[in-house]
Amino acid sequence: MSDIETIRAEIKKLSAKAMQAKMDLHDLSEELPLGVENVMDVARRVQDTYAALNAGKAALKALEARP
């Protein structure tokens, strides 16, 4: 598997994780004030997941830009 294919596969996995984390935060927000103690942990997971996704996308873009 090439580097580009590997990164694309990783982006696909990260995208699914990011969507799930976003939905978890959304679901948690609908249940407030129940679970308020979990908001920061879930929000941090959303932030970390999207940061990894954006880094993967940037790496893919850089590899695709190579001649």
pLDDT digits (tens, 9 = 90+) for 22-40: 999 999 999 999 999 999 9
Q: Map out the domains of the chain with their CATH numbers.
A: 3-65 (1.10.287.660)
Under the phi-then-psi rule, with left for phi > 0, alpha for psi from -120 to 50, and beta for the rest, what region is 35? Answer: left
The whole-model pTM stands at: 0.87
Rounded (to 5) percent helix, strand, coil in the chain: 90, 0, 10
Q: What does the pLDDT look like over 47-60, one tens digit per residue?
A: 999 999 999 999 99
Q: Which helix (H) or strand (E) holds 11?
A: helix 3-31
